[in-house]
Amino acid sequence: MNRDLAKTMALAGLGGAAFLCVPLVANSGVVFLAGLVAINIVFALSWNLLFAGAGLLSFGHSMFLAAGAYTMAKFSLSAPEVPFLLTLVLAALSGGVLAWVFGFVALRRASGTYFAILTLAFSALVHIVITKTDALGRADGLVGIRRPEIGVGSLRLSLDGDMYYVFIVLSMTLAALALWCFTHSPTGRLLQAIKQDRLRTSFLGANVRRWQLLAFCVSGVFAALAGAVMAPWSQIVSPEIAHWSMSTMPILYALLGGTSRFWGPALGAILFGMLDYGTRNMLGLADMTSGILLLVVVLAVPGGILGLLLRVGRTREEAKG
């Protein structure tokens, strides 16, 4: 095991532990929000895997979140006998399949801005299809999703209330670690090379489109996993989850925290969760503050908060030395 991985595991462990402490000190409303933040962290990391990791800008990430959430909700309502963990895997795969179908078509011709708009159009299509499909509850969504049970044979553990919160934190920590490993694997480095110089990497013999498609699918799987874990937590899945404003969220988190660092989007999601909590009662203010915040970050601090902190830290060290 190399040192970087050990350090990352320690960091993720600390972060997870901090999240696990929330129910001890805060009321259930805050715990609910903390669970959503944990889920959003993985959602944002999956988006940044594409943006910072492979140079693909997605404006349609909500479609994967929706794929996972609706698959989970549908299984939980119509086929509760299927084990929860199996459903989770199926839901995550649904995002991967969606990503493959879309990416197979879109990556063939489009790149850059065109690709971004295609993702937007495709997710809009998914949103419309959901609002018009009876089996998915149309505009009302699916309600009454139960908190799941896990276990083998007669040994069963009901993930109710705070227990499901613990499950969220653990699963999302593992998912984040898995994403870290992917980013730092040879494949991750190859994608980085493609991002930096597409042409040169293809001269070196890499099939650029196939690797980008792989990145797209991995990103789709993790975004769908986030959606699948979210469904039993909020116990309702509505078409809002597929709306394009949902696709803004990971962009916002990642840019706020800093896209060039792996954990930047996580920091952004946490900060944004706090901001959201602070402005929750003021209609319109939430949109406005997040918009202004995002503008300021893009125009003034392109490295995001984490980039800024690291830069300040480095300058201080240099001043000392």
Partner 1 sequence: MMMDIGLVVFGGLSWAMATFLVAAGLTLIFGILHILNFAHGGFFMVGAYLAWAMIEALGGGVSIWTYIAVALVSGAVVGALGVLVDVTIFRRLRDVEDAYALIATYALLMVCIGAIELIWGLDFRAIMPPEALNSALFIGDLIAPTFTIFIIVCGVVVYVALEVFMARTETGKLVRIVAHDAWMARLLGLDVTRIYLITVVISFALAGLAGGLLVANQGLSPELGGVFLLQAFGVVIVGGMGSIRGAFLAALLLGQIESIGGMLFPNYPGIFYLVALAGLLLIRPQGLLTKGRTEWV
CA nearest to 110, candidates 206, 212, 203 = 212
135 contacts partner 1 (rule: CB under 8 A): no
| Minimum CB distance to partner 1, residue 86 (Å) | 32
285 contacts partner 1 (rule: CB under 8 A): yes
**Could you give the string, one character per residue 82-121, with x where binding to partner 1 holds by CB under 8 A and - elsewhere?**
-----------------------xx-xxx-xxx-xxx-xx
CA distance to 18, 38, 46, 233, per residue, from 166 (Å): 12, 11, 21, 11
132 contacts partner 1 (rule: CB under 8 A): yes
Sorted by sequence, the CB contacts under 8 Å of residue 161 that are 6+ apart come out as 147
Q: Phi and psi at residue 37, in whole multiples of 5°?
A: -60, -45
CB-hemisphere CA count at 13 Å for 83?
11
Q: Token digits for 164?
A: 């499901």
Q: Which of residues 14-53 bind partner 1 (CB under 8 A)?
A: 51
139 contacts partner 1 (rule: CB under 8 A): no
**Could you give the string, one character per residue 239-278, with x where binding to partner 1 holds by CB under 8 A and - elsewhere?**
-----xx--x--x---x-----------------------
The smaller minimum CB distance to partner 1, of residues 64 and 102, is found at 102
Sorted by sequence, the CB contacts under 8 Å of residue 290 that are 6+ apart come out as 252, 272, 275
Task: State the residues that interact with partner 1 by CB under 8 A.
Answer: 51, 57, 59, 105-106, 108-110, 112-114, 116-118, 120-122, 124-125, 128-129, 132, 244-245, 248, 251, 255, 283-295, 298-299, 302
